[in-house]
A and B are shown apart, each in its own frame.
Chain A
């Protein structure tokens, strides 16, 4: 094949251009540190890269969720720790007061003193129950954020023996709800990070006993009831015993039973305030005489004909104060003391639950950290260049380019013309 001058120069130019393109490519790679900048550089790797990056972002967000959850749980734990201290002090006072020596005139002064102190502890407890977190939201209110969870009902009653001891607190109402705030800590995995007030600040088991005879009662249609936020289906034609069975087999801390007058009674198995609701237009709980027909939502909707027992922590303290006033020593040393013990036990139970959750969060956070570093490593291997390798390639290309230029210039220049004289 004849080689013409045109061919040689074309060939040289093409080679130089190709080198330039390759040099440019490597330069960009080294400059950005990345092997893949566009999907076309390597479509398979690019797809993997997307998945890795998505997972990394997820892990970061879950990490933030875990931190937030732990902070909330820690704060709740701190509050409950103070509550425990207060209750233990109250217990000491109760034991003191139940001691018979505090009778007579001297006893009166001491009883007044104890009464005042218990009143102060009561107010302190209400304040703790209404405490807020760093963003200004209530810790123990469930999902309610616009009003304080616990509201004191005060009357301007006269206190002990005619001495005016400011407004007396005669009750504390729970105005929050039973929602539990959750945080997502992995895909589809949620953990609760708050405890609603109706569970924490309850002292004794509660019960609701209907005043109605329900022997003849038959459920008219399929419907659902809600106890403590859990929905239970009731079918048409169910009788009292069927309803009791369905309630007892549901995953809630409430047990149902039939009492002597064929009336239904619900009792809690751990101290908390029961929330009963008929939902979707149903009427079962109303028909059974447990909630008021025209009542609004729980918790104030128990039927007036029903008997409700059970005390919140605040109720326990108020009851103690009243018993001191009436100097009912038997009650002080009997029921009051055991109620305080029950309240203490409930708080401890919740604190250990919080502790378990914090442990789970810490373990999970550790796992997430490991996952994150693993993902970052994978991503780096996927998309980042091996710097030494790239620089070696660059150097090699440079020298090849130099050779091409060198030889090319030698071949192109000389022609016969130069040698013909």
Chain B
């Protein structure tokens, strides 16, 4: 259109129809992307997206769609010539991209976290209980894990070699008392789950109680939450990743310069860097002194889609571990099944899901995490609605202003037209009169 307009302008025409069509196209474009129009040069009509040129006179820059392999092939917009990403700040496209890349994944993550924490909590208590048929150590829920071997290892870059250990939860071997001073000092090192593995140091001293150290870990938001489980053992769980959903629920790094995680709670086998656990290596499961029963592996991507009741329970209700065993054999491990067909394990599961402080992300329990997610969703949705209504009102005002300048009032035009019509009639009348006058002079004057 620019070319055609330029051509007809050079020969002196005013192609109003083309102007109108161009304006309509720009309006449509403005709805999709945040464009600015440059009319400073009469011969070159420019359209910019931010700082990048989309249309320059008769030249256009093409945009192509490129799929992102890291994010399951989601498409993004790139300039064909320079290969740079198209930077948009507003418009329908940007809105769609924001929803797709931020809002919806956040909600999916929240549901995933609820699922993973529920499954893990129920399973860990269920495994410690006994069914009517005496069976124990059975999972209630089955969830596909990221790793496919018994050491939690996973091949993250697809080169055929396992290069990371994906663990979601680890529980210590010893039962702890929440309010007893620990009597030891040291520094814990964690890495944040943010793609940079930013280290965070948390120190503890001998007058701190177990409860206080746990609080300190949770308040620091290092990608790990700490709690005491149903057997009062220290439990560390990974949280959602801050930048990459594929790294959700992976414990990044556990290191203790002292004995809190080692001798006191029975999680790591050794202190210092040598005893530390880091997910970026295979075989790291050896750094834990806990048995494999007390370690949960990271679930596969989008775990909410892959949860089901385990086959053992589906096939046989007598295996549902509603009762606790008797603590025989030291260490309060409740590993003897005789007696106690009493339903106390079921009560433990119920209270853990209801209100025990088992930590879901950085919220204390399920109820508060769920309430937080729902109210965030509600508030965001309401804000969006109100924004939209406000914008609509503003747009109406702008429309009206534009209309008042460029619009056509039917009555005005009709009145003008009547005026011109009358003027035309009057002129026609005048010419008629002139013609009659001349007629008299020419034809009537006889000698």
Q: Which residues of A are in contact with B by a Cβ distance under 8 Å? A: 1-7, 10-11, 14, 38-44, 46-47, 50-51, 54, 143-145, 177, 179, 181-182, 184, 187-188, 279-281, 297, 415-417, 420
Task: Report whether B375 and A39 are in contact in the complex, using a CB–CB cutoff of 8 Å.
Answer: yes
Chain B residues with CB under 8 A of A280 = 327-330
A181 to B342, CA, bound (A): 7
Chain B residues with CB under 8 A of A187 = 354-355
**A-B contact sample (6 more), CB < 8 A, given A2-B407, A50-B374, A416-B411:** A10-B400, A38-B378, A40-B377, A46-B374, A47-B374, A187-B355
Task: Report whether A40 and B378 are in contact in the complex, using a CB–CB cutoff of 8 Å.
Answer: yes
Task: Report whether A14 and B396 are in contact in the complex, using a CB–CB cutoff of 8 Å.
Answer: yes
Residue of B nearest to A54 (CB): B367
- Tell whether B161 is near chain A: CB-to-CB under 8 Å: no
* Chain B residues with a Cβ closer than 8 Å to the other chain, count: 45
Q: Which of B36-44, B186-194, B225-233, B333-341 faces chain A?
A: B333-341
Q: Per a CB cutoff under 8 Å, which of A39, A44, A179, A281 touches B340?
A: A179
Which positions 56-111 of chain B face chain A at CB distance < 8 Å? Answer: none
A5 to B367, CA, bound (A): 57
Chain A residues with CB under 8 A of B343 = 181
Chain B residues with CB under 8 A of A3 = 404, 409
Chain B residues with CB under 8 A of A2 = 404-405, 407, 409, 412
How near does chain A come to B338, taking the closest CB pair, in angstroms?
7
Chain A residues with CB under 8 A of B405 = 2
Which positions 358-406 of chain B face chain A at CB distance < 8 Å? Answer: 367, 370-371, 374-375, 377-382, 385, 396, 399-401, 403-405
Task: Report whether A43 and B375 are in contact in the complex, using a CB–CB cutoff of 8 Å.
Answer: yes
Closest 6 CB pairs of A and B: A39-B378, A4-B407, A40-B381, A43-B378, A416-B414, A2-B404
- Tell whether B292 is near chain A: CB-to-CB under 8 Å: no
A288 to B248, CA, bound (A): 57
- Tell whether B445 is near chain A: CB-to-CB under 8 Å: no
* A188-B341 contact in complex given A47-B374, A415-B410, C-beta closer than 8 Å: no
A415 to B413, CA, bound (A): 11
Task: Report whether B374 and A39 are in contact in the complex, using a CB–CB cutoff of 8 Å.
Answer: yes
A40 to B415, CA, bound (A): 52
* A145-B404 contact in complex given A43-B378, A280-B327, C-beta closer than 8 Å: no
- Tell whether B351 is near chain A: CB-to-CB under 8 Å: yes
Residue-wise, chain B 22-41 has the 8 Å CB interface mask toward A (1 for contact) of: 00000000000000000000
Residue of A nearest to B344 (CB): A182
Which positions 309-329 of chain B face chain A at CB distance < 8 Å? Answer: 323, 326-329
Chain B residues with CB under 8 A of A6 = 403, 407-408
Chain A residues with CB under 8 A of B414 = 415-417, 420
Task: Report whether B374 and A279 are in contact in the complex, using a CB–CB cutoff of 8 Å.
Answer: no
How near does chain B come to A283, taking the closest CB pair, in angstroms?
13
A1 to B403, CA, bound (A): 10
Chain B residues with CB under 8 A of A297 = 338-339
A44 to B407, CA, bound (A): 46
How near does chain B come to A14, taking the closest CB pair, in angstroms?
6
Task: Report whether A4 and B381 are in contact in the complex, using a CB–CB cutoff of 8 Å.
Answer: no
Chain B residues with CB under 8 A of A50 = 370-371, 374
| 30 pairs, CB–CB < 8 Å, chain A vs chain B | A2-B405, A4-B403, A4-B410, A5-B410, A6-B403, A6-B407, A6-B408, A10-B396, A10-B403, A11-B400, A14-B396, A38-B381, A40-B378, A40-B381, A40-B385, A43-B378, A46-B374, A47-B378, A143-B341, A179-B340, A181-B342, A181-B343, A279-B326, A280-B328, A280-B330, A281-B328, A297-B339, A416-B410, A416-B414, A416-B415
A6 to B412, CA, bound (A): 13
A299 to B123, CA, bound (A): 34
A2 to B409, CA, bound (A): 8
A417 to B413, CA, bound (A): 10
A46 to B372, CA, bound (A): 11
Task: Report whether A39 and B377 are in contact in the complex, using a CB–CB cutoff of 8 Å.
Answer: yes
Q: Per a CB cutoff under 8 Å, which of B329, B351, B400 touches A7?
A: B400
- Tell whether B347 is near chain A: CB-to-CB under 8 Å: yes
Which positions 408-433 of chain B face chain A at CB distance < 8 Å? Answer: 408-412, 414-415, 418
How near does chain B come to A141, taking the closest CB pair, in angstroms?
10
Chain B residues with CB under 8 A of A1 = 400-401, 404
Q: Per a CB cutoff under 8 Å, which of B327, B340, B381, B399 touches A279?
A: B327
Residue of A nearest to B393 (CB): A14
* A7-B403 contact in complex given A47-B374, A143-B341, C-beta closer than 8 Å: yes
How near does chain B come to A410, taking the closest CB pair, in angstroms?
15
Q: Which residues of B are in contact with A by a Cβ distance under 8 Å? A: 323, 326-330, 338-343, 347, 350-351, 354-355, 367, 370-371, 374-375, 377-382, 385, 396, 399-401, 403-405, 407-412, 414-415, 418
Chain B residues with CB under 8 A of A14 = 396
Task: Report whether B375 and A143 are in contact in the complex, using a CB–CB cutoff of 8 Å.
Answer: no
Chain A residues with CB under 8 A of B374 = 39, 46-47, 50
Task: Report whether B339 and A143 are in contact in the complex, using a CB–CB cutoff of 8 Å.
Answer: yes
Chain A residues with CB under 8 A of B403 = 4, 6-7, 10
A187 to B356, CA, bound (A): 11
A177 to B401, CA, bound (A): 88
A47 to B373, CA, bound (A): 10
How near does chain A come to B394, taking the closest CB pair, in angstroms?
13
Residue of A nearest to B396 (CB): A14
* A46-B330 contact in complex given A4-B404, A181-B342, C-beta closer than 8 Å: no
Chain B residues with CB under 8 A of A184 = 347, 350
How near does chain B come to A413, taking the closest CB pair, in angstroms?
11
A420 to B378, CA, bound (A): 57
Residue of B nearest to A40 (CB): B381
How near does chain B come to A55, taking the closest CB pair, in angstroms?
11
Chain A residues with CB under 8 A of B396 = 10-11, 14
How near does chain A come to B346, taking the closest CB pair, in angstroms?
10
* A46-B342 contact in complex given A187-B355, A188-B351, C-beta closer than 8 Å: no
Residue of B nearest to A223 (CB): B330
A41 to B327, CA, bound (A): 52
Residue of A nearest to B401 (CB): A1
A392 to B370, CA, bound (A): 36
Task: Report whether A415 and B381 are in contact in the complex, using a CB–CB cutoff of 8 Å.
Answer: no
Residue of B nearest to A184 (CB): B347
Chain B residues with CB under 8 A of A44 = 375
How near does chain A come to B351, taking the closest CB pair, in angstroms?
7
Chain A residues with CB under 8 A of B380 = 40
A211 to B285, CA, bound (A): 54
How near does chain B come to A336, taking the closest CB pair, in angstroms?
35
Task: Report whether A10 and B409 are in contact in the complex, using a CB–CB cutoff of 8 Å.
Answer: no
How near does chain A come to B434, taking the closest CB pair, in angstroms?
28
Task: Report whether A281 and B330 are in contact in the complex, using a CB–CB cutoff of 8 Å.
Answer: yes
How near does chain A come to B333, taking the closest CB pair, in angstroms?
10
A417 to B412, CA, bound (A): 11
A416 to B403, CA, bound (A): 20
* A4-B408 contact in complex given A10-B399, A54-B367, A143-B341, C-beta closer than 8 Å: yes
A46 to B370, CA, bound (A): 12
How near does chain A come to B132, taking the closest CB pair, in angstroms?
9
A279 to B327, CA, bound (A): 8
Task: Report whether A7 and B404 are in contact in the complex, using a CB–CB cutoff of 8 Å.
Answer: yes
A2 to B323, CA, bound (A): 82
Residue of B nearest to A50 (CB): B371
How near does chain A come to B356, taking the closest CB pair, in angstroms?
10
Chain B residues with CB under 8 A of A39 = 374-375, 377-378, 381
Residue of A nearest to B399 (CB): A10
A169 to B175, CA, bound (A): 49
Task: Report whether A47 and B328 are in contact in the complex, using a CB–CB cutoff of 8 Å.
Answer: no
How near does chain A come to B60, taking the closest CB pair, in angstroms?
32
How near does chain A come to B322, taking the closest CB pair, in angstroms?
11
